[in-house]
Amino acid sequence: MAATVAGLYPELFSAVGVHSGIPTGAASNIVAAFSAMRRGAHRSTLAQEQDSGMPTIVFHGSADTTVHPGNGDQIADSALAALAASGLVLEKIQRTEESQVSTDPRRSALRTIYSAANGKSYVEHWSIESGPHAWSGGSEAGSFTDPQGPGASLAMLEFFLQHRQ
């Protein structure tokens, strides 16, 4: 929903964050939505969507059995394609981010950052190793949270602060 709203109103948003979601335009009905959630979105459907090229940060657990992890890849790829079409040249950097809470190496994330020459990141994709369908780094008191994962809230805030209007 965040990507849909940001795409509809790009004049109101400087960047968008998506956690465990499906790409904008992946479904036009409930059957297609469940299919995209289980198997990933169909690229032919996504190709019809116009993307605004908004800076995007994506979090998705590699063990998410509710929303297929490939959807996170497609969201990041769509943002990259739109930004490239606008003429922005980005450099790709990958690194492993460890959880601040867990010492279990399976709770780290592969963080892929696409940055401009000035160092500002325009697309970030965090793939949380063994991460379930839950907010990464959330409080154990909350519902649908994964307190063992790297903190999505702080990472998104830091990303958004790079893109203030």
Interval 119-133: pLDDT, tens: 999 999 999 999 999
CA gyration radius for the chain?
15
Question: Over 90: is that where the pLDDT of 41 sits?
Answer: no
pLDDT band at 45 (very low <50, low <70, confident <90, very high): very low
Measured between alpha carbons, how far is residue 45 from residues 7, 23, 40, 74 in Å?
16, 10, 11, 12
Cα gap 41→70, rounded to integer Å: 8
Closest by CA to 77, choosing from 165, 153, 163, 3, is 3
Query: What is the helix (H) or strand (E) element at residue 12, kind and residue range?
Result: none
Q: Are 132 and 61 in contact (CB under 8 A)?
A: yes
The amino acid at 61: G
Rounded CA gap, 110 and 158, in Å? Answer: 17
Residue in 113, 98, 114, 115 with CA at minimum distance from that of residue 149: 98
CB 128 within 8 A of CB 72: no
Kindly tell me if the per-residue pLDDT of 48 is higher than 50.
Answer: no
